[in-house]
Structure 1
Amino acid sequence: MKRFIPFMKKDPVVPVIRLSGAIGSGRAGMSDAGLAPVIEKAFKMKPAAVALVINSPGGSPVQSSLIAARIRRLAQEHQVPVHAFVEDVAASGGYWLACAADEIWVDGASLVGSIGVIFASFGFSEVMARQGIERRVVTAGKSKSFADPFLPQKPEDIERLRAIQAPIHQAFIDHVTARRGSRLAEADLFNADIWVGQAAVDLGLVDGVAHLVPKLRSLYGEKLRLLPLGQRRSLISRLGLNVAQEALATLEERALWARFGL
């Protein structure tokens, strides 16, 4: 009631944005377009801070960058501190999102890191050969069919993929370095390793072991109000339509989680 009475001091408010799942522009993943309304709403509340609850194995580097950039831009515009709380995992793009916060807190068993870039696919050339199936490809441009899973892998294709990965990896490194700065240890942190809980604290990848409610109350007082916010699923997704695409997206996300035993 007091928030409607003029001149009375209001209890501090912290919106809690849940960033959970794989990151991507598809229907099932977290995306900048899908999260934009939630993030914008959180910072417009004139909060004491904004909290991010992160549980993500990663995904699209572009969407990770766009979401993190939006959070940083609004934090600076509104002069609002941002705290990230990691649940099971903040790896790869999930850690990219965590670095959008001013401080990152983890559980003692949280998995953090995987600062790298991966390209994964399958090869079917030998299966096709055994079945007597011939692959016929006609292209305009010699690189148009590179990394074709139905053709044998070529050394030049591997080099092209590494050339693509290198600037993406560097952008990730630059983001982590800019956000974590002198807090980072001088160890090799950018080779896609994973660290657990306190080990991530010791390396400066995160700031401490703490959970959302007690930590925020210690910072902003016992009368703190937490307002949960999350990305709304599309009507098609909620109704279970387009089952084939939903199933494929689920399989892709399960593969990401499986890399961390989850």
Structure 2
Amino acid sequence: MRRLLSRLLPKSMRSQAVTIPVIRLHGTIMSGGGQFRPSLSLASTASLIEKAFAFTDAPAVAISINSPGGSPVQSRLIYKRIRDLAAEKNKRVLIFVEDVAASGGYMIAVAGDEIIADPSSIVGSIGVVSASFGFTELMKKIGVERRVYTAGKNKAVLDPFKPENKADIERLKALQLEVHDTFIDLVKERRGSKLKDDPDLFTGLFWTGKKGLELGLVDALGDMRTVLKQRFGPKTRLQLITPPRGFFGRRLGVFGSAAGFSAPDIAGAAAGGLIDAAEERALWSRFGL
């Protein structure tokens, strides 16, 4: 409403303060997300991103990132949506790293024309990881026999209830290398000559924002409010872009009867939520968070 009223006023009467739309992309990156633990995905962020780029008079869009990573597909989709809209709307994108922009979080960060990090933040982890558990010994101890029937000899690869198979591991590693190459190419395309020739750069290691500046992974050190006011003037106004009203109410209102969830639905979602929480905790803990 404020923006609409401002446009109706003559230019001489309009405020000279610059308004910069701000998006917060915080959390793990997973397809879909759950009713109990929403996560970052293209579906959950697209409307926020498009709303931010709709600010006609804004010279830039500021994005705060705090993510340990997750799905490489969703990371790239979010990255691409940001870059597509930046080109379409002719907007500069300023990325601000809070605690961590690692793995998929860093993939999204390279969508920025500039990346500004806190000196103590964590950046990098340009690699691919897959993790699971093996339950073969547990199955023996509790006296349970695993029975799997497939049409297609490779339909049960990497079954956690069966002993590891060398061919399955080699197949998985080949897939990981392809995804890793895509990640590396994206970082090189966006960061270009800013990147230092360091042998550890694409090994999955991660660094502080201060070291990331030396390596060319980030462009500057600082915080959003200070940098934006220095860049666009002391009267610069930061406009946080939030989801449509009722968005979180619908997602969190799963316990109400109006939401249409039965007791088994809630129990199943709760169990899935525990697994998601464990995976999320594991991602954050890699970076000491």
| TM-score (structure 2 length as normaliser) | 0.86
Amino acid paired to 1:7:
K
Partner of 1:6: 10
In the TM superposition, structure 1's runs of 4+ consecutive aligned residues that sit over 6 Å from their partners are: none
Give the aligned partner of residue 24 of structure 1: 30
In the alignment, structure 1 residue 147 sits paired with structure 2 residue 158: yes
Compute the displacement of 1:165 (Å). Answer: 0.8
Task: State the shift of 1:240 in Å.
Answer: 5.2
Paired residues of 1:12 and 1:223 also in contact (CA < 8 A): yes
The CA deviation string for residues 163-185 of structure 1, in whole angstroms up to 9 with x for no partner, is 11111111111111111011000
The answer as to 2:220 corresponding to 1:205 is no
Unmatched 5+ stretches in structure 2: 256-265
Q: C-alpha displacement at 1:247, in angstroms?
A: 3.2
Once the two structures are overlaid, the 10-residue window that deviates more, 181-190 or 8-17, is 8-17
Where does residue 35 of structure 1 map in the other structure? 45
Q: CA deviation at 1:3?
A: 5.1
Counterpart of 1:171? Answer: 182
Q: 1:235 to 1:2 in 2, by over 3 A?
A: closer
Give the SS at the match of 2:11.
coil
**Contact conserved, 1:98 with 1:104, CA < 8 A, in 2?**
yes
Contact 1:13 1:49 in 2 (8 A): no
RMSD value, Cα:
1.6
Match of 2:193 in 1: 182
Mean CA deviation greater in 64-73 or 224-233:
224-233
Unaligned stretches of 5+ residues in structure 1: none
1:122 aligns with one of 128, 133, 144: 133
Alpha-carbon spacing, 1:221–1:206, altered in 2? closer, same or farther (3 Å): same
Instruction: Name the CA distance, whole Å, in 2 between partners of 1:254 and 1:22.
Output: 9
1:239 to 237, 241, 253: 253
* Alpha-carbon distance change, 253 to 230 in structure 1, aligned in 2, over 3 angstroms: farther
CA distance in structure 1 between the aligned counterparts of 2:27 and 2:208, rounded to whole angstroms: 19
* 1:221 paired residue among 216, 223, 233: 233
- Aligned 8 A contact 1:17 1:53 in 2: yes
| Deviation of the 1:234 alpha carbon | 4.5
Map 1:37-52; keep pairs closer than 5 Å.
Answer: 37-46=47-56, 47-52=58-63
| Residue 260, structure 1, aligned to residue 287, structure 2 | yes
1:39 and 1:71 in contact (8 A); partners too: yes
Could you list the per-position Cα deviations for residues 21-71 of structure 1 after superposition, in whole angstroms to 9, with x for gaps in the alignment? 000112321110111111001111121210110000000000000000000
Residues 19 and 230 in structure 1, CA contact (< 8 A), matched pair in contact too: no
Q: Is the 8 A contact 1:21 1:29 kept in 2?
A: yes
Q: For this pair of structures, how many residues does the alignment match?
A: 262
**CA offsets per residue over residues 70-119 of structure 1, 9 Å max, x none?**
00000011111001110110000000011000000111110001100111
CA distance in 1, matches of 2:122, 2:182: 22
Aligned AA (2:284): W
